[in-house]
Structure 1
């Protein structure tokens, strides 16, 4: 789960497993696999970093992976 902020300033938590796309329209819009969309204050990069951090916490990504490459 990752915590994000709606445009009205309210924080909410979303299950990162269900994120299908993250786009900037210019506001960051997240589409889930069930078709729901959320517009958030965080940038695409911030959402990506939170998602990668979550996946590392639940051991779905090797901690050595950074940006899709192994160091």
Structure 2
């Protein structure tokens, strides 16, 4: 899961495996498998980095070891 920020400033966690599209349209729109969209403050590149970091942590021994 990655943490993102809604335009209201409220932070939330989202399952990165459910993201189908990240679109820069002034703000950043994150589209999910269920058809839901979230507008967030983070830029496209920042979201991509969060996803990469999260996936690396899953594959590392640090995540498994706790």
**TM-score category of the 2 structures, normalised to the smaller one:** 0.7 to 0.9
Q: Residue 16 of structure 1 aligns with which residue?
A: 16
Would you identify which runs of 4 or more consecutive aligned residues in structure 1 move more than 2 Å? none
SS of 1:58's equivalent in the other structure is helix
RMSD: 0.6
Deviations 1:3-28, CA, capped at 9 Å, x for gaps: 00000000000000101000101110
Tell me the matched-pair count.
59
Q: Residue 25 of structure 2 aligns with which residue?
A: 25
Bigger fraction of residues in helix = 2
Q: Residue 67 of structure 1 aligns with which residue?
A: none
TM-score (normalizing by structure 2):
0.86
Q: Residue 4 of structure 2 aligns with which residue?
A: 4
TM-superposed CA distance for 1:57, in Å, is 1.1
TM-score (normalizing by structure 1):
0.80
SS of 1:55's equivalent in the other structure is helix
Q: Which runs of 5+ in 1 are unaligned?
A: 60-71
